Structures are given as structure tokens and as C-alpha cells.
């Protein structure tokens, strides 16, 4: 049995998990890649594999559905203005609308950098590189998430300053949070600016609820160096490669193993596996049969003289 790698460099030299490599090539998510492997649709160096517990390198020949694995796609990042009422997932078991179903069809397969819950809105970063998404989600990366928050209730700035060093709520420890009271409206609401670098599930809502506030609007306005700006609700805009490279920096690029030299999604043919197992679109009912000929209407002859149309004689009984 081969020795386990003693450090990260040695681990990288021994390659990456095959599902991760397939995902980086843009064919499927890691979970979908594992399903392809389980179905016997992936082979490595001429042998069909049955388990995703396999590391591969650039020297290995990977074939999916009889076709060689395409060259890895270029790392891309998009800014998206998520509206309220959309779930940040590809498929929702409750049947709620998902943001990925609302994206333009011209975009590549994308994953989100973190999430925004159903009733939250604002900036959400999307990428075609799962490695980049994971790197940007890590608290160790230290990218600030900034929100504009409207909440019902009243709070003093001194109470908001109390979460500056973090707080524990119901046994969960939340990291440092910067919260500023911007203004109090004439009604029962206050507006706050909240910044954090961790982003646990519903963190802003839970911390402010602990302070006696009920959040009724939550808008993310920035994630790291990327800002929502004037991006319209529901719109998506790609970050230019040079801007992305500069924003990430050498350390994050190396950590995420980002690739800025590969082809774009539009430069290569459609992945073969996406066309498998699809049912043919049923023929429309009105196209299944030729249209009926318009029946001829027989008109009774008119009496050219003045007066009503003559009645047809009834047959004698």
C-alpha cells in the first residue's frame, strides 16, 4: 500500500480525486460526477471504475460516456443580484423557485459562493470553479461580507458594539461582527450596516434577534472586493478575468487552483453526458395529424326576385 502523503505538496503531486477533476472540467458537479462513476460511465486508462475513491493526475486518460474528458474550463466569476423569494440551490425538494433556474441559459454550469436564504437579497457570487467557491467561503480567507439591514425594533449603538468581539447564542459561537446604527425611521424600523467575515447559517438574523430586533429586509451589498453597485435586481454580470486575477491575488489563486488559460464554455461542444437519457419532446396534438380540410358549405339558391328565400318542398309521406 502506498504511503500517505506527508504534506500538502506531496498530496498535490499524487493528484486529485477523480470526481473533483470531472467537476473542474465543467461536465458536472462533484456529486453528479460520483453518480456517473457509480453508473459505470467513467473509465481511467482504459478501465471502467466503480468508485470515486481514486486520485488521478494529468497523465491519466479519463473517458466519460466514451469521450475523452475535455480540457478544463477557464475559471470564471459572476456577480448576481439575487431577488427575494428564490432558493440558492439547483433543486428544491419543496418545489420552491431556485435562482439557478432563473439564470440565462447561455451561462455555464455555476455554483454559488456561499448562500443567501429565501428572504434575503443582494450580491451573490457565482462561479464555474468549485475549488474557487470553497476557497472564498472559508473563514480563513477573511473576506468581509457587508449587509444593509432593516429591522423592527429599537437598539442602541452600545448594544451593537457588544457583538464586536463575537457572541455565543444557544451554544453556537459567532465571530466578530461590526454593526452600525445608520438611522431610525419614523415607524418602528431601524437601518443598520452589518459586516462579518464568517457567515454561518442565518447569522445576521439570529444575532440581531438576540439583541431584540426582527429583521424584515436583508441586502448583501458586498462580498470581499466585489460590490453590488448598480446591478439591477435579477441581473448577472461577469467579472473580467484581469479584474478577478487581481482581486484574488497569488495566494488565493494557488489555494483554489484557479485556471485562467483554459477555454471558455462557449468554445467547446456540449458535454456528451448532458444529452443522454433525455426523453424526446412529445409532439404537439395539433401537429400529430394533418389539419382537416375546411368543409365546403352548401348554400341554398336565393330567389333572385324580391321576397324571402323559397322553402324546400317536403317529401310526401
Task: Kindly list the catalytic residues.
Answer: 117
Q: Quick one: pLDDT at residue 149?
A: 97
- pLDDT given for residue 168 in this prediction: 95
Residue with cell 457565482: 126
Planar angle of CA 174, 257, 65, nearest 5 degrees:
110
Residue in the structure block whose three cell numbers are 442602541: 156
Strand partners, 42: 64
CATH T-level fold of 11-71: 3.10.290
Q: Are strands 214-223 and 120-127 parallel, antiparallel or unpaired?
A: parallel
Helix, strand or coil, per DSSP, at residue 203: helix
- Domain parsing of the chain, residue ranges: 11-71, 77-256
The number of beta carbons lying within 10 Å of the beta carbon of residue 14 is 12
- Whole-number Å distance between alpha carbons of 277 and 269: 18
Q: Write out the DSSP string of 101-148.
A: HHS-TTS---EESS---TTEEEEEEEES-HHHHHHHH-GGG---EEEE
The per-residue pLDDT for range 14-32, each reduced to its tens digit, is 788 999 888 877 777 788 8
Q: Residue 242: in which H helix or E strand, if any?
A: helix 241-256
**Nearest CA to 241 among 221, 227, 268, 259?**
259
Closest CA to 72 of 20, 110, 36: 20
pLDDT at residue 311 in the model: 53
Q: What's the pLDDT score for residue 272?
A: 42
Task: Report the C-alpha gap between 304 and 33 in whole angstroms.
Answer: 82
Determine contact, residues 153/213, Cβ cutoff 8 Å.
Answer: yes
3-state helix, strand, coil split of the chain in percent (to 5) is 25, 25, 50
Residues of the chain under the 70 pLDDT cut? 1-13, 265-317
Residue 87 DSSP class: B
CATH number for the domain running over 77-256: 3.30.2350.10
Amino acid at each position: 500500500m502506498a504511503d500517505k502523503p506527508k504534506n500538502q505538496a506531496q498530496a498535490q503531486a499524487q493528484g486529485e480525486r477523480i470526481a473533483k477533476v470531472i467537476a473542474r472540467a465543467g461536465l458536472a458537479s462533484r456529486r453528479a460526477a460520483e453518480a456517473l462513476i457509480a453508473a459505470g460511465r467513467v473509465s481511467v486508462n482504459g478501465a471502467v471504475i466503480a468508485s470515486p475513491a481514486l486520485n488521478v493526475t494529468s497523465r491519466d486518460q479519463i473517458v466519460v460516456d466514451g469521450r475523452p474528458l475535455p480540457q478544463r474550463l477557464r475559471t470564471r466569476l459572476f456577480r448576481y443580484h439575487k431577488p427575494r423569494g428564490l432558493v440558492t440551490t439547483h433543486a428544491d425538494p419543496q418545489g420552491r423557485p431556485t435562482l439557478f433556474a432563473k439564470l440565462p441559459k447561455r451561462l455555464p454550469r455555476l455554483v454559488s459562493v456561499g448562500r443567501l436564504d429565501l428572504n434575503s437579497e443582494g450580491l451573490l457570487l457565482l462561479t464555474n470553479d468549485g475549488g474557487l467557491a470553497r476557497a472564498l467561503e472559508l473563514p480563513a480567507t477573511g473576506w468581509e461580507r457587508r449587509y444593509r439591514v432593516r429591522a423592527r425594533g429599537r437598539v442602541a449603538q452600545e448594544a451593537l458594539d457588544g457583538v464586536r468581539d463575537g457572541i455565543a447564542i444557544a451554544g453556537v459561537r459567532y465571530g466578530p461582527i461590526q454593526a452600525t446604527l445608520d438611522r431610525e425611521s419614523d415607524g418602528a424600523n431601524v437601518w443598520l450596516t452589518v459586516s462579518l467575515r464568517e457567515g454561518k447559517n442565518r447569522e445576521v438574523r439570529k444575532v440581531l434577534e438576540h439583541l431584540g430586533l426582527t429583521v424584515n429586509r436583508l441586502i448583501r451589498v458586498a462580498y470581499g472586493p466585489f460590490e453590488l453597485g448598480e446591478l439591477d435586481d435579477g441581473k448577472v454580470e461577469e467579472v473580467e478575468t484581469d479584474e478577478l486575477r487581481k482581486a484574488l491575488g497569488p495566494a488565493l489563486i494557488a489555494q483554489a487552483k484557479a485556471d485562467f488559460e483554459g477555454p471558455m464554455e462557449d468554445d467547446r461542444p456540449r458535454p456528451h453526458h448532458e444529452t443522454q437519457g433525455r426523453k424526446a419532446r412529445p409532439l404537439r396534438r395539433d401537429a400529430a395529424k394533418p389539419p382537416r380540410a375546411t368543409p365546403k358549405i352548401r348554400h341554398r339558391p336565393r330567389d333572385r326576385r324580391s321576397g324571402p328565400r323559397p322553402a324546400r318542398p317536403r317529401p310526401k309521406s
